[in-house]
Structure 1
Amino acid sequence: MSHSLRDILRPRQQVSPQAYAIDWAMSLSVRPLAHLTVRSSSGLLTLRRLFGATAPLLARVPSRVQVLPVRTPQVRGEWVRVPSAAGSRQVVLYLHGGGYFFGSAAMHRQVTWRMSRQLRRPVLAIDYRLAPRHTFEDWRDDAVQAYQYLLARGYEGKDIVISGDSAGGHLTLVLLQTLRDRGLPMPSCGVCISPWTDLSGDSPSIHGNARRDPFIPPSALQFISRFLTRDRSPYDALVSPLHGSFTGLPPLYVLVGSTEVLRDDARRMAAKARAAGVRVHYEEWHRMPHVFPLMAAVLPEGRSAFRHIARFVAEIESPVLPLAA
């Protein structure tokens, strides 16, 4: 496996001053806050409220970006569309992160509106049900229903890109594996940003990057994993899609920061997918924090990431030149 990982790693990149500043700020704020609060279910709910307070800031988009709510019995979320996406017959289904405890479509508009602009298509971002009231089957069912909602609106599988960050990256893989197992039309590709793929806690970077990740303390990640799995096996594919089958999945783009505690969740997933014959484009960005494209408003690397995603999707949908590894 290590040999295949060497094949897919990207070279070191120069780090912007903004990235250093964000690392410093998060290591003094978000990381200690998570370490102190994520010790109980009530602490997780406190963290949800604290992150929810940032929603008005994160939900701001340029005036020409159209945001339309979706409220059906099966799907809750929003359409995000830039003017250049009008009339497109292609679409992105976006699954937000937040450890399955917090987060929302609105809080991830800094990702979804940029994805709409770069890919020139609308983005459907859903609000799937959250823990502690809901669990893996509920999240999977919400994602499947959103995908079927797109099919019912006339989109073909080949017209759909599925993307998600962190826990949303987990749900992206669960959804892809479920669509394959149920014989539903497969999307053109999947885009996983800092994906959380293994709730067993076996990834070496959880400890190896414990002092380097400015955002997620290992203690918080391990508590959430234990709380979500409870009496379930963390090696079940629905709980940890890393341990599921990757055979027959569409091409995958995997993006992660080199100092993340979840780095090896992404590395191991990319290697396993490649071993199963899946086309994988893996990018490991030097010293980038967890889900750094979410910070694109102030982070140059975050803005660049969307151009990389767009290039990958364009190559998958209309291959002309070989995609660089």
Structure 2
Amino acid sequence: MSWQGAVIRWTLRRTFRPATEQPIDVDYVRTRTSKRLWTPRAPSGWRLREQYDAAPLRGEWLERRRAPGQPAPRTILYLHGGGYYFCSPKTHRAITFGLAMRADADLFSLDYRLAPEHPFPAALDDALAAWRSLLDSGVRADSIVIGGDSAGGGLALATLVALRDAGGPLPAGAVLFSPWTDLAATGASLRDNDGRDPMFRGEVFERVAPLYLGVTPATHPLASPLYAELHGLPPLFLRAGSTEVLVDDTRRVAARAADAGVEIDCAIWPDMPHIWPIYAPFMPEARRVLDEAAGFARRVTGGGHAPGGGDPRAAQSSETSIA
């Protein structure tokens, strides 16, 4: 692990995790997150276009400045994490900006409705509406990659399941960072990594899940896609850290999808914290995993690997059993 990664783990263990052990105060968490917000500037040659009053594409675009009439080679629809009840496209710009640049993709980060004011299936409905809006605007389905982290990763996977069930076109693939796929909280890592995870105790997810679920059973396949039939999905790229309490949400989905015949690129990185790509400006491991994700996005949309991505196996853990 890099020294930057070690510092981030140390900081999270002493600041973030104690806060998550307190009773959930939705307004306080949202306010605290907004006050601590740091976001990178739009990179040179790109423009940030915010449209927070324009449903169904409510959120923000990061677009490369191209010659008039020149379309983007690919588009990423990104769904941010935050337990379904906090965070926003703005909090996740370190991921979205880094991924868009590396993949040479126009990226739309969706500002989906949050729980508990808008419980399941509001976020899913918003993701499906955004997908339909992209297609209606002329973006080809096979040029789109859907992505997400944590709750957004679970939401991205649920969106794929809903699209498959509806019989319509599917994205070219999905990029899932530390996805939360089991709101019933049955993964063994919730116990085994309790105390090892620098961000969370295992029990926190049992307290957060009801905010999103409302009256919906925790095993509903579109709320917890671990319980969905996963056949017929496009290729999936999954990454999680070995000490995360949620790592089994990645392992089990990857195994079930592979058994269903889905192409899987899954790796468990040693000692990485939950959604470590968000530390890309400071952490070498975060930049490397974004290189890998961008290479996947280029490949499944027909564009090859991102330059400078390196060997996609270079930082994978020996725990990786699905590739």
| Gap change, CA 1:230 and 1:149, over 3 Å in 2 | closer
Counterpart secondary structure, 2:121: helix
How many matched pairs?
A: 306
CA contact (8 A) 2:57 2:110 kept: yes
Task: Check if 1:87 corresponds to 2:71.
Answer: yes
Q: 2:87 aligns with which of 103, 119, 124?
A: 103
- CA displacement at 1:156 relative to structure 2: 1.1
CA contact (8 A) 1:151 1:157 kept: yes
- Number of the residue aligned with 1:66: 47
- Number of the residue aligned with 2:143: 159
- Number of the residue aligned with 1:269: 253
2:312 and 2:95 map into 1 onto residues whose CA distance is: 23
1:59 and 1:297 map into 2 onto residues whose CA distance is: 8
Task: Check if 1:44 corresponds to 2:26.
Answer: yes
Instruction: Map residues 220-231 of structure 1 onto 2, 5 A cutoff.
Output: 220-231=204-215
Write out the 4+ residue segments of structure 1 that deviate beyond 6 Å after TM superposition: 319-324
What are the superposed Cα offsets for residues 170-190 of structure 1, whole Å, 9 maximum, x if unpaired? 110111011111112110001
Counterpart secondary structure, 1:218: coil
What are the superposed Cα offsets for residues 24-50 of structure 1, whole Å, 9 maximum, x if unpaired? 0110000001112xx24xx13211211
Counterpart secondary structure, 2:203: helix
Q: Structure 1: 5+ residue runs without aligned partners?
A: 1-14
1:314 and 1:59 map into 2 onto residues whose CA distance is: 24
- CA displacement at 1:235 relative to structure 2: 1.1
Task: Check if 1:173 corresponds to 2:157.
Answer: yes
1:46 and 1:244 map into 2 onto residues whose CA distance is: 34
CA contact (8 A) 2:120 2:214 kept: no
Q: Structure 2: 5+ residue runs without aligned partners?
A: 306-310, 314-322
What is the one-letter code of the residue matched to 1:68?
Answer: R
- CA displacement at 1:63 relative to structure 2: 4.9
CA contact (8 A) 1:79 1:123 kept: yes
CA contact (8 A) 1:61 1:110 kept: no
Q: 2:58 aligns with which of 76, 85, 90?
A: 76
Task: Check if 1:307 corresponds to 2:291.
Answer: yes
CA contact (8 A) 2:56 2:129 kept: yes
| Range with bigger deviation, 221-230 or 315-324 | 315-324
Instruction: Map residues 235-254 of structure 1 onto 2, 5 A cutoff.
Output: 235-254=219-238
Counterpart secondary structure, 1:315: helix
- Number of the residue aligned with 1:283: 267
> TM-score w.r.t. structure 2 length?
0.90
**Percent pairwise identity:** 36
2:260 and 2:95 map into 1 onto residues whose CA distance is: 30
- CA displacement at 1:83 relative to structure 2: 4.3
What is the one-letter code of the residue matched to 1:65?
Answer: W
CA contact (8 A) 1:89 1:155 kept: no
Instruction: Map residues 95-134 of structure 1 onto 2, 5 A cutoff.
Output: 95-134=79-118
RMSD in angstroms over aligned alpha carbons?
2.0
1:78 and 1:231 map into 2 onto residues whose CA distance is: 31
- Number of the residue aligned with 2:308: none
What is the one-letter code of the residue matched to 1:128?
Answer: Y
- CA displacement at 1:272 relative to structure 2: 0.5
